[in-house]
């Protein structure tokens, strides 16, 4: 069996999805997602200029060797661009494998460990009353787990995942439009004074059953993060995410020394080499990698297995930048993984998105039910994809009030 061709499409309804389609001499094709949020054209060019010319003629069934060929074969390897490109190829090869076997992917991993996989929604508000409304609505939709982000009184601008006006709480999607980033202004003291109280109020209001998550989005220093994690300990968070930037990995040791609040990290990790020591030392509780940015199913499955040996559960990244293709890849891993924890769930559930990526996957009562169709179980409407142009975007930059650049 041989790969005969591969095509890349960049664009989609409201997002620059990077979709890879690999064709074979047996008429079976596979789909992959290389959407690196706000840098979408880079994995697309890497695929087009360097990887696809090498893929043609390879046997698509040898997904492991093909992964090793691109990863080990690249002298300059790792990093989000390369790993997103390798990841898309890997997803597409697994899709082909599943179609050849006439089985959904989770069967090839070892079958189902559960039916519905727990997901969490993003509740937000410009202030606490709006956040409470937002949480109330998600609970009414059946969610058992909700990430809560809240506007901070006195903060000069809205911060990560928080609207700048009251009333905007339903499925808020951050506006990344424009090549020049917007600026957010951040004040740690205001945040660390207000946020623990807000989280405590959410716990009091909604009771012990609700799984409450919160994303600090890399904003605190190590000491501040340790103090924050200790302070929120009585609230019983499901997780506290990315308390500090990912570069200084010693930080997690300090946080662990001071609190038992569960920590989630990894949405910016691209390989097992970014987290193997942290996992082996059991310095966090949930691994947040995405199949898109971390080398596809082959590599992420390796991370999940290592995490499983060390009491770390999965909590894959699921921001709206991931297309239904990589979300399906994660759904198959979620159905199988013995150490599954939770899935972030935010794919734009619009009619246009569903038309462009038709599938029988189902989200109901806060749970994700994976389809039994062979392979990934998602298709791709190429003709429709051609309607969308690439629209450049950027993540905001963050500055402190004196102008110092901070972490988004």
Binder of residue 39, out of ligand KDG, Mg ion, none (CB less than 5 to 8 A by kind): none
**Cα Rg of the chain (Å, integer):** 21
Round to whole Å and give the CA distance between 195 and 215.
Answer: 11
Q: Which of 215, 231, 274, 285 binds ligand KDG (CB under 6 A)?
A: 215
Residue 101 CB, shortest distance to ligand KDG, in Å, is: 32
Nearer to ligand KDG, 29 or 160 (CB): 160
Q: Which of 159, 344, 367, 398 binds ligand KDG (CB under 6 A)?
A: 344
User: What residues form DSSP beta bridges with 340?
Assistant: 314
Binder of residue 130, out of Mg ion, ligand KDG, none (CB less than 5 to 8 A by kind): none
Binder of residue 37, out of Mg ion, ligand KDG, none (CB less than 5 to 8 A by kind): ligand KDG
Q: Which of 37, 63, 124, 292 binds ligand KDG (CB under 6 A)?
A: 37
Round to whole Å and give the CA distance between 175 and 177.
Answer: 6
- Residue 160 falls in the annotated catalytic set: yes
Do 295 and 69 touch, CB atoms closer than 8 A? no
Binder of residue 321, out of Mg ion, ligand KDG, none (CB less than 5 to 8 A by kind): ligand KDG
Interactions with ligand KDG, residue window 280-319 (CB under 6 A): 317, 319
Of 48, 88, 49, 120, nearest to 293 by C-alpha is 88
**Interior CA angle at 38 toward 30 and 407, to 5°?**
130
Catalytic-labelled residue, pool 29, 46, 71, 160:
160
Nearer to Mg ion, 184 or 215 (CB): 215
Binder of residue 391, out of ligand KDG, Mg ion, none (CB less than 5 to 8 A by kind): none
At a CB cut-off of 8 Å and minimum separation 6, what does 384 contact?
352, 355, 356
**How far are the Cα atoms of 155, 215, 225, 380, 396 from residue 399, in angstroms, in the given order?**
12, 18, 19, 40, 10
Residue 214 CB, shortest distance to ligand KDG, in Å, is: 10
Binding site for Mg ion (CB under 5 A): 215
Nearer to Mg ion, 40 or 242 (CB): 242
Round to whole Å and give the CA distance between 86 and 78.
Answer: 10
Nearer to ligand KDG, 132 or 268 (CB): 268
Nearer to Mg ion, 66 or 346 (CB): 346
Q: Which of 21, 217, 313, 361 binds ligand KDG (CB under 6 A)?
A: 217
Do 105 and 297 touch, CB atoms closer than 8 A? yes
Residue 301 has phi, psi (to 5 degrees) of -60, -35
Interactions with ligand KDG, residue window 386-405 (CB under 6 A): none
Nearer to Mg ion, 40 or 215 (CB): 215
Residue 164 CB, shortest distance to ligand KDG, in Å, is: 17
- Residue 46 falls in the annotated catalytic set: no
Binder of residue 332, out of Mg ion, ligand KDG, none (CB less than 5 to 8 A by kind): none
The reply on whether position 267 binds ligand KDG by CB under 6 A is yes
**How far are the Cα atoms of 82, 87, 217, 336, 402 from residue 94, in angstroms, in the given order?**
18, 11, 32, 15, 50
The token pair at 331 is 């759904």
b or e along 104-134 (b: 16 or more beta carbons within 10 Å of the residue's beta carbon)?
bbbbbbeebeeebbbbbbbbbbbebebbbeb
Catalytic-labelled residue, pool 122, 217, 218, 332:
217
Nearer to ligand KDG, 349 or 358 (CB): 349
Residue nearest to ligand KDG (CB): 319
Adjacency order of strands within the sheet including 397-400: 183-186, 397-400, 405-406
Binder of residue 292, out of Mg ion, ligand KDG, none (CB less than 5 to 8 A by kind): none
Give catalytic residues, as residue numbers.
160, 217
Q: Which residues here bind ligand KDG, judged by CB under 6 A?
A: 37, 215, 217, 267, 317, 319, 321, 344
């Amino acid at each position: 069996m041989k790969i005969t061709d591969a095509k890349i499409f960049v664009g989609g309804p409201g997002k620059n999805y990077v979709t890879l389609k690999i064709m074979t001499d047996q008429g079976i094709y596979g789909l992959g997602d290389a959407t690196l949020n706000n840098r979408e054209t880079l994995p697309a060019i890497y695929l087009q200029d360097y990887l696809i010319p090498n893929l043609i003629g390879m046997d698509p069934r040898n997904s492991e060797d093909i992964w090793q060929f691109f990863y080990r074969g690249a002298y300059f390897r790792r990093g989000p661009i390369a790993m997103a490109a390798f990841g898309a190829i890997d997803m597409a090869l697994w899709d082909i494998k599943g179609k050849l076997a006439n089985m959904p992917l989770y069967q090839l991993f070892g079958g189902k460990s559960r039916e519905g996989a727990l997901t969490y929604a993003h509740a937000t508000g410009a202030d606490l009353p709006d956040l409470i409304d937002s949480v109330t609505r998600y609970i009414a939709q059946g969610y058992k787990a909700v990430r809560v982000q809240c506007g901070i009184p006195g903060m000069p601008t809205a911060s990560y995942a928080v609207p700048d006006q009251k009333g905007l709480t339903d499925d808020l999607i951050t506006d990344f439009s424009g090549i020049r980033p917007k600026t957010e202004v951040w004040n740690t003291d205001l945040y660390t004074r207000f946020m623990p109280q807000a989280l405590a109020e959410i716990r009091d209001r909604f009771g012990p059953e609700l799984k409450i998550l919160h994303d600090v989005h890399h904003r605190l220093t190590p000491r501040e993060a340790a103090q924050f994690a200790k302070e929120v300990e009585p609230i019983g968070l499901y997780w506290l995410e990315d308390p500090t930037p990912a570069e200084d990995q010693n930080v997690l040791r300090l946080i662990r020394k001071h609190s038992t609040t569960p920590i989630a990290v990894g949405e910016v990790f691209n390989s097992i080499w970014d987290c193997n020591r942290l996992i082996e030392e059991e310095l966090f509780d949930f691994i947040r990698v995405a199949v898109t940015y971390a080398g596809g199913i082959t590599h992420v499955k390796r991370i999940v297995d290592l995490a499983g040996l060390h009491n770390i559960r999965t909590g894959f990244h699921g921001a709206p930048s991931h297309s239904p293709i990589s979300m399906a890849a994660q759904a198959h891993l979620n159905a199988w993984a013995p150490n599954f924890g939770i899935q972030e769930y935010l794919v734009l559930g619009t009619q246009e998105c569903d038309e462009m990526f038709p599938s029988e996957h189902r989200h109901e009562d806060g749970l994700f039910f994976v389809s039994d169709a062979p392979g990934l179980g998602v298709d791709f409407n190429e003709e429709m994809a051609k309607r969308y142009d690439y629209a450049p975007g950027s993540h905001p930059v963050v500055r402190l009030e004196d102008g110092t650049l901070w972490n988004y």
